[in-house]
Amino acid sequence: MLNKCDLLPYVDFDEEFFMKGVRALNKTAPVIRVSGKTGEGYEKAAEWIMEKIKKQQ
């Protein structure tokens, strides 16, 4: 999860560099952008977690 995505316009964060690093470690890892302030992404994150739980049962 990429947290605090609501702050991205205001901070010096290179999201492209971040994603290159993630992809270097795992080419298929999902990256979900979330924001506690706006609630963005939490529904998608919850769906991903529920999907993983169902696959383990």
pLDDT, one tens digit per residue, over 9-41 is 999 999 999 999 999 999 999 999 999 999 999
> For the whole model, what pTM was predicted?
0.77
* Contact status, residue 15 vs residue 2, Cβ threshold 8 Å: yes
pLDDT at 44: 96
DSSP state of 33: B
Q: Which of 2, 37, 3 is nearest to 21 (CA)?
A: 2
pLDDT at 7: 93
The yes-or-no verdict on residue 57 having pLDDT over 90 is no
pLDDT at 33: 96
* Contact status, residue 1 vs residue 44, Cβ threshold 8 Å: no
